Structure 1
Amino acid sequence: MPQSKENKPQANPDPQQKYQQPPFPEQKQPVPGTDEAMQPKADHGEESYKGSGKLAGKKAIITGGDSGIGRAVAIAFAREGADVLIAYLNEEQDAKTTASYVEEAGRKAVLVSGDISEEQHCQEIIRRAVEELGGIDILVNNAAFQMARQSLQEIPSEEWDYTFRTNIYSMFYLCKAAEPHMKPGSAIVNTTSVNAYKPNPSLLAYAATKGAIQNFTANLAQILADKGIRVNCVAPGPVWTPLIPATMPAEEVQKFGEYTPMKRPGQPVEMAPIYVLLASQDASYISGATIPATGGTPTI
């Protein structure tokens, strides 16, 4: 397919041909990366997602809500009727762009920047949600850190620690702080990865946290069932987000997603409906589950 700056869905219903396939333009970004610098642009559902009131009146927190899957989920939640707190690290412009889509949908957007690897900041996110949204019905633990390394010796101990603190410690901090404010019918949706099943050898720390997230989700679902709170997770395959050009070698970015049966990465908008389902009452009997969205890559 021809290269373009935009990555809009094609009319062809064939999912393999729906979005641009690799090779992508050579590119590299500083961590954590921004949506604005991506080539081609990711599709978050800005033009395509249509809501139907599945989350009317709900109050949601989304970590990593500035770009990528988080932005797509924020847009979808808002168009389904939810107010959204967007937690992000320091990507100010991306976060403001996401907030503008939430507000265009007629919903309230609250922006909270900071490092979720710190428990105090996670507690602040919950406090802001209760104070400014008026409660918490949905918690989406989506933010994550990764860094590709080609050998065990290349991984700094500090990076190992930061990956775990960002990806899995933060879930514990946020869920613990949010639980007292969540009523029966509330939902927690975590983002794991296909790496929980088929770990990429260059992503040792990241893949290990994603396996931990899956077990954390299954366990927490049992703990919170008596309180009427459901807990599930989504396992995306390769998805075209700023984290990719920010943390992977340029040659891997160019061919990102080509190894899937669909021969392309997923787009954030293709993940969003799964989060909507798991956050809504349509999934009232689903808890402790993992839903894969991997472009055909087996997870068993």
Structure 2
Amino acid sequence: MDHGSSRADKTVEEQRDIQKEVAENDQKQQGGNKKGAVQAGARAYPEPPFPKQHHPKPGHEADIDPAPMYDAPFYRGSGKLEGMVALITGGDSGIGRSVAILFAREGADVTIAHLAEDEDAEETRKCIEKEGRRCLVVRGDVRDPLFCKRLVQNTVDEFGKLDILVNNAAFQVHTKKLEDLSEEHFDETIKTNLYGYFNMAKAALPHLRNGSSIINTGSVVGLKGSPELLDYSMTKGGIHAFTKALASNLIERGIRVNAVAPGPVWTPLNPSDREADDVSTFGSQVPMKRPAQPEELAPAYVFLASPQMASYITGEVLPVVGG
């Protein structure tokens, strides 16, 4: 055997040793992943599997097991929104509730609008007042432009101004096939998720001024699509486009417009949509292997609303998707 052949055999042996080592490490890593989801926050968050459950629309936070974590006890306010006034649609529960609480903790008075979740809205009001800020609760449908105008006017009458609009109210129901997506269902999604945002922005704009901001809630499905959320994906992609277009439209007025695109989040939206078996594994498909809790999304809204932190940011869609 010549020297070249011997060297080749040795190289093959070394490569196989590397291959074996990598395979063994991969096997160990796979075993480690089965231990649970990624916990990288200030406290541990619930992991799938969750109790099987399905709730009627619009969903009530008080009925969900485990209860969504929204109060962010380790988050300390520092006056980032001191003296400002915010209006949050869908502010009674889920992401909206947590955003309302952190806005209050940062010094803002808050109006929360909700569809029909009176118990949830009352709990959110108590949380805001516990932070030492004022809260106005208004019940109504953002599909109705007259309600949106009245909601904004009520806010201005109560607090004297409006600085921040958070468009967050949404409707979502899965359908497995396009043929099963009725016109009524499609209209409900479009009118809530797109008309609602348009109506609220148009109603708020006369009261916004230089330094004000609009924050829209988009979604990861607006970035990637979802086979069983055809209509919802369409609206969330539309919200992202609306965000960018409106930001360009309002930039010369000094009004910033941005969006947050959440991945799976443990809120009333999904247990009132998915089948019980799907709810049990909700969020397990993302790299962190669990859904976010509302308090993990809310700081992104504080960041985008704060003139100290985001004065040079507009027209952006900020993904918070778990990897």
Partner of 1:294: 321
Bigger shift: 84-93 or 113-122? 113-122
Deviation string 1:33-68 (CA, Å, 9 cap, x unpaired) is: 111111111110253332111000000000000000
Partner of 1:246: 272
* Identity among equivalent pairs (%): 50
Answer whether contact 1:218 1:288 (CA < 8 A) is retained.
yes
Higher helix share: 2
C-alpha displacement of 1:13: 5.8
C-alpha displacement of 1:15: 5.0
Match of 2:233 among 189, 198, 207: 207
Partner of 1:124: 150
Equivalences for residues 1-300 of structure 1 within 5 A: 14=40, 18-45=44-71, 47-281=73-307, 282-296=309-323
Answer whether contact 1:148 1:249 (CA < 8 A) is retained.
no
Answer whether contact 2:60 2:117 (CA < 8 A) is retained.
yes
C-alpha displacement of 1:19: 1.3
C-alpha displacement of 1:247: 0.8
Q: 2: distance between equivalents of 1:62 and 1:46?
A: 18
C-alpha displacement of 1:17: 8.8
Gaps of 5+ in 2: 1-37
Q: 1: distance between equivalents of 2:191 and 2:122?
A: 26
Q: Secondary structure at the match of 2:270?
A: helix
Answer whether contact 2:53 2:275 (CA < 8 A) is retained.
no
**TM-score of the superposition, structure 2-length normalised?**
0.86
Answer whether contact 1:16 1:263 (CA < 8 A) is retained.
no
Bigger shift: 229-238 or 48-57? 48-57
Q: Secondary structure at the match of 1:245?
A: coil
Gaps of 5+ in 1: 1-11
C-alpha displacement of 1:125: 1.0
**TM-score of the superposition, structure 1-length normalised?**
0.92
C-alpha displacement of 1:130: 1.0
Structural RMSD (CA): 1.4
Q: Secondary structure at the match of 2:80?
A: coil
Greater Rg, structure 1 or structure 2?
Answer: 2
Q: Secondary structure at the match of 1:247?
A: coil
